[in-house]
Amino acid sequence: MSRILLCVPALLPLAGGLIILFAAWFGNFSNYRKLGIYTEGLTILNSLILAWLIFGKEESGSFVLFRLFGNLEVMFRLDGMGRVFAGLIGFLWPLAVLYAYEYMRHEKRRTVFFAWYLMTYGVTAGIALSGNLVTMYLFYEVLTLVTFPLVLHPMTKEARLAGRRYLYYSIGGAAFAFLGLVFVLNFSATGNTEFIPGGVLDLQAAGEWKNVLYVVFLLAFSGFSVKAAMFPLHGWLPKATVAPTPVTALLHAVAVVKSGAFAVIRLTYFSFGIEFLKGSWVQWAMMGAAMVSIVFGSTMAVKEAHWKRRLAYSTISNLSYILLAASMMSPLGIVAALSHMVFHGFMKICSFFCAGAVMHQTGKTYIYELDGLGRKMPVTFGCLTVASLSLVGIPLFAGFISKWNIARAAFSCALEFLALKAAGGSGSGNIAAGSIASDSIGAGSIVSGSWGYLAFGAVIVLLYSALMTGIYMLTVLVRAYFPKETENCVEKSGNSVEENENCVEESGNCVREAESSLDPNWMMLVPLVIFAVIILLFGLYSRPLTAFLMEIGGGVV
């Protein structure tokens, strides 16, 4: 396999999007059907290239596209973690474009929309295929630039405010992330920022500056967590729901938020390294921030009446599940983080697309407007039921698997702390070989206080979030399937019985059995059904994926 192929999934959609913009300037692509075929075709081609890279038998190695200066290289490489993220986006994007084609049919500025939508695919693939911190940071910055026009697309006052807020948050977060890049390069044992399992820091040199580096890591973690919408850096995400649903679905399920979580995992396990971080106060700060964000997001979702904003707060909570699992800094922790990253991608994009289908067909955007729609849109709400039960964490659905892994990782972290505590707790050195850094780095700090008990609290937070998720997701289903009826409207043999007043269809209180389905056409339904089926399949049989993730976790830690 030619190594140059590694950069194609990042560059091909970028070039394709630019072609759309230039063609639109000269009046081409005025035919919507041709625009859709071009965009879908290029997306499928890019996903096939990603599949070739992911499942290829040959070692892909690395490919340096160009050098900025010195050891700063824009380099592409596909390792285990990259395969997981690339596989997720490669599978979801063609289905998202198919859904978007029908959803945007009657919208304005469609050509510009699909140009940026396509370029976002390339930039997200670039993050997945990044071989070092420099390359990932470069694409992370560009991701802000290509998604900003998508948030701004409606060009309403609310969209302009949301776009500016998104820009401010993202640029501020990138500045903090840049500090991490500078310090990693300065203390790198290899002289570059290449992603290496266990990190690239020179531990002897880092040990003399450990407190400074801990602060820098926390700042960089916060910077990357802006896109992961961690509290209190989440303010841009609920506002961004003013964008079209195909945009918000990818922002909340894959492109932006998953890129933030993916970057945090890379920074933790491949740049700074858990040998340097594990047991330090910064690990517990990372864990505590994720727990607070989970509680905040799930609580706010219960209070929110706007359907898409409710799902946005749900994203805030669920993305912090990934950060919480990553903070365990163990093989099981990275397995839990990556499994939830994959499963949440399917669950959340399915939920958003269901909400978008309802909005597209009925114009209803608030929870209290959904009464009775479950019977009028059986396929849409059937898929939403699968996604909702999975988000709650009901057994036999994918969400249960990832949440179970997170709980196991939390218990494992807490028990390791107790074992170290019982073994002396005075910082006498490594208890578990290779699991904790030497005394000079901070091994003793894991047992120098009571912070380790925080891992037990993570399990309680997971249970609380599951309860809140049950409330804010199942409330929608109850309204849709079991509306409050204020009058009876019964049809027998095709004859309608009206008693005192006309049956008002818009109220949602009168459901006609003979009424035709309000489900959208196949272009919007096919992605929903596929997502629901995959959620069920992963819930029933996730062993191959879990085994693959265990290999990644074992190789990283």
Find, among 375, 357, 400, the residue nearest to 477 by Cα.
Answer: 375
Report the run of H or E that residue 62 belongs to, with start and end.
strand 62-69
Spatial distance between the Cα atoms of 222 and 47, rounded to a whole number of angstroms? 31
Q: State residue 320's pLDDT score.
A: 93
Helix (H, G, I), strand (E, B) or coil at 408: helix
Contact 556, 385 (CB under 8 A): no
Q: What local confidence, expressed as pLDDT, does residue 557 receive?
A: 65
What pLDDT shows up at residue 492? 39
Strands 72-77 and 62-69: antiparallel
Rounded to 5°, the CA angle 10-337-543 comes to 95
List the pLDDT tens digit at each of the 557 positions of the chain: 468 888 899 999 999 999 998 887 776 667 888 888 999 999 999 999 999 999 876 556 788 888 887 778 889 999 889 999 999 999 999 999 999 999 988 888 889 999 999 999 999 999 999 999 999 999 999 999 999 999 988 888 888 998 899 999 999 999 999 999 999 998 888 888 899 888 888 888 877 888 899 999 999 999 999 988 898 888 888 888 888 888 888 877 788 899 999 999 999 999 998 888 888 889 889 999 999 999 999 999 999 999 999 999 999 999 999 999 999 888 899 999 999 999 999 999 999 999 999 999 898 999 999 988 988 999 999 999 999 999 999 999 999 999 999 999 988 888 877 777 777 654 333 333 334 333 334 444 444 456 667 888 888 999 999 999 999 999 999 999 988 764 344 343 344 444 444 444 444 444 443 356 788 888 999 999 999 999 999 999 988 888 888 888 877 76
Specify the pLDDT at position 44: 96
What pLDDT is recorded for position 516? Answer: 64
Structure tokens, 262: 């993916």
**CA nearest neighbour of 480 among 316, 335, 367, 348:** 367
Per the DSSP assignment, residues forming a β-bridge with 188 are 201
Q: Does the predicted model carry a pTM greater than 0.85?
A: yes
The candidate with the shortest Cα–Cα distance to 194, out of 77, 275, 106, 354, is 77
Strand partners, 557: none
How far is it, in rounded angstroms, from Cα 380 to Cα 363? 15
The one-letter amino acid at 130: S
Residue 316 in tokens: 């805030």
Please classify residue 541 by burial: count the beta carbons closer than 10 Å to its beta carbon, then call 0-12 exposed, 13-18 middle and 19+ buried: exposed
Measure the CA–CA gap between 106 and 72, rounded to whole angstroms.
Answer: 46
- What does the alpha-carbon distance between residue 535 and residue 498 come to, in Å, rounded to a whole number? 43
The reported pLDDT for the residue numbered 248 is 86
Q: β-strand 62-69 against 495-496: which pairing, if any?
A: unpaired
Q: What DSSP assignment string belongs to 136-205?
A: HHHHHHHHHHHHHHHHTTT-SHHHHHHHHHHHHHHHHHHHHHHHHHHHHHHTBSSSS-B--TT--B-HHH
The Cα 318–Cα 224 span in angstroms is: 16
Q: Are strands 491-492 and 495-496 parallel, antiparallel or unpaired?
A: antiparallel
User: First-to-last CA distance in the chain?
Assistant: 29
Give bridge partners of residue 315 from the DSSP assignment.
none
Beta bridge partners of 492: 495
